[in-house]
Amino acid sequence: MTTRNCLVTGAGRGIGRAIAQRLSESGNRVALTARSAGELAEAATQLPGPALDLPADLADPQAPNRVFDAVERDWGPVEVLVLNAGTATSAPLTATTDEDWERALQINLTAPFRFLRRAVPPMVERGFGRIVVIASMAAKRGDPYVSAYTASKHGVLGLVRSAAAELARTGVTVNAVCPGFVDTPMTERTIDNITAKTGRSAQQARSALEGKQPIGRLISPDEVADVVELCVRNAAINGQGITVDGGAVQS
């Protein structure tokens, strides 16, 4: 297998960390970025192959240039880009503030757009590239109390589809993976939020989330990484939003 230069955002924990681990185990060089420098450094030291930890705030418009410049300086062009970083809030529509709305769009849609825009020219020049965005089943349906999050995830799936169509003949593929509720720290925060607002126990809140998926459990980060790896390996998968939610959204 050819060794590729990979970049994973939101790689300090959860899904991003599992994806970085998987890409490294497959023989690739993996650069990791996130705001959490400590978690990022720990994740990088656990990879079996070459790793770079590059802390960055993805809300910063200059973050893509700084991160890509660092990878290119040490290894050369990024060939595989996994855009995993995201944020989630929950509130009724009428209680969703402008700040909530802007933050969701900034991290879940604008930052992926900026990273994708920076990644594409070198990929097209070399005739090879794999871009995978970790979206959500919220990219495909609407649920109550998550209007800002859902709008941002619908938007990023549209970005993926348009970019894939534009780049289809260049050797660059663009796909989205759309997980349901995954067993990660972000889901733990959702459970804490449910507990605080409803008075239900943590186990009751967890069971409610598990019940939203027909398989009756949370998705594992490794199950998401499986699909990312498939998108990286298979050049015929392009412009897709692949749902990994145990059958909750059939599409």
Active site residues: 149
- Say how far residue 135 (Cα) sits from the centre of its chain: 6
Of 119, 104, 11, which Cα lies nearest the Cα of 56? Answer: 11
* Calpha distance 136→142 (Å, rounded): 11
| Residues 118, 66, 225, 138, CA torsion sign | negative
- Say how far residue 225 (Cα) sits from the centre of its chain: 10
Cα–Cα distances in angstroms (integers) from residue 222 to residues 20, 23, 88, 183, in the given order: 11, 11, 21, 10
* Calpha distance 114→242 (Å, rounded): 22
Full DSSP string of 68-95: HHHHHHHT-S--EEEE-------B-GGG
